[in-house]
Structures are given as C-alpha cells and as structure tokens.
C-alpha cells in the first residue's frame, strides 16, 4: 500500500544529469524513432544546437525521483503492487543533448479508490540556469491487498 500522509511531500533534488547525444540515439532507437530524428545535421537545420530528445525521454529523470519514494520508509510504497496508470509530459522547451538537468519529485495527491490507491507524482526537470524545462506527471495505481 502507500501512506496517504505523503501527499505534498517533496523529495530532494537529484544529482545533475548530462544528456548525452548517444544516449538520445539509444533511447530513440529503442522507441522506434526514425534515423532522421537522430540526424545531427537535420536537428541543427531545424534550429537546435544538438539532437532533440524523444518526447518520452524525461521518464529517465522521473525514475530517479521514484527510486527515492521506493526507498522512503515513510511512503511505504510496495512497488510489486504498482501498475502504471497514466503518464504525461509537459514541455517548456525540448530537451537537447548537452543539457545539464536536475529533477525534483513531489507527491501531488494520494487518493483511495475501491481498495486501491492512486498516487500522482510531479517531477519537475530544470536546466543549469534553474529554468523549468519539463514536468513529468505520473499516476501510479497501488493495488490493495485483496485486489
């Protein structure tokens, strides 16, 4: 289960994450992106300084925050009972290779629903100048003991 009192809890800022060009290529290929989307010349022609990360790439940063929740005894989150319910990414600007990012996860809400818990996590991702780049919003369903 999960402790409903963690609603509003904010976890510590992650260590910085340098977005690598080849990491973008690896992630893009794993999500069936075309070779054109990871062509540096094409990205630069579109006005970017380097490759643009695929739209779901921020999941990598969200995971850092979720690891803190899983390790937090106060949260009491039993990850073996967790199902991914919803996911959303809201971009202020795209993530570009070379970005030095940090992320910070907070618990937006914990709701009870028919023996299950629904937990919404907001992960804010900032660049080196502390400007918000993207928010990743994840809803996890924690199945109850009988579910």
Partner 1 sequence: MPEITELAVGDIVAEKEFNLDRDALVRYAGASGDFNPIHYRDEVAVSVGLPGVLAHGMLTMGLSIEPVVSWLGDAGKILDYGVRFTKPVAVPANGQAVIMVVAKVAELDLEEKKARIDLQTSFEGNNVLGKAQVWVQL
Contact region for partner 1 (CB under 8 A) — 9-17, 42-50, 70-78, 97-105? 42-50
Site for partner 1 in 5-34 (CB under 8 A): 26-27, 29-34
Strand partners, 58: none
State whether residue 122 is helix, strand or coil: strand
- Considering the rule CB under 8 A, would residue 84 count as an interface residue with partner 1? yes
Distances (CA, A) of 16 to 52, 98, 104, 127: 18, 12, 11, 9
| Residue 5 or 56 having the CB closest to partner 1 | 56
- Considering the rule CB under 8 A, would residue 80 count as an interface residue with partner 1? yes
State whether residue 26 is helix, strand or coil: helix
Distance from C-alpha of 17 to C-alpha of 99, rounded to nearest angstrom: 8
Among 9, 21, 48, 106, contact with partner 1 (rule: CB under 8 A): 48
State whether residue 74 is helix, strand or coil: coil
- Considering the rule CB under 8 A, would residue 145 count as an interface residue with partner 1? no
- Considering the rule CB under 8 A, would residue 4 count as an interface residue with partner 1? no
Helix (H) or strand (E) holding 131: none
Binding site for partner 1 (CB under 8 A): 26-27, 29-34, 36-37, 42-43, 46-48, 52-56, 59-60, 63, 80, 83-91, 94, 137
């Amino acid at each position: 289960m999960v402790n409903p009192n963690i609603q509003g809890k904010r976890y510590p800022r992650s260590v910085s994450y340098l977005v690598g060009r080849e990491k973008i290529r690896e992630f893009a290929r794993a999500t069936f992106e075309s070779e054109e989307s990871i062509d540096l010349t094409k990205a630069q022609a579109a006005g970017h300084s380097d490759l643009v990360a695929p739209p779901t790439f921020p999941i990598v940063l969200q995971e850092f925050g979720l690891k803190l929740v899983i390790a937090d005894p106060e949260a009491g989150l039993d990850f073996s009972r967790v199902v991914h319910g919803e996911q959303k990414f809201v971009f202020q600007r795209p993530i570009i290779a070379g970005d030095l990012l940090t992320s910070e996860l907070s618990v937006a809400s914990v709701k009870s629903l028919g023996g299950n818990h629904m937990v919404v996590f907001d992960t804010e991702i900032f660049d080196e100048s502390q400007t918000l780049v993207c928010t990743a919003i994840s809803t996890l369903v924690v199945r109850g003991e009988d579910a």
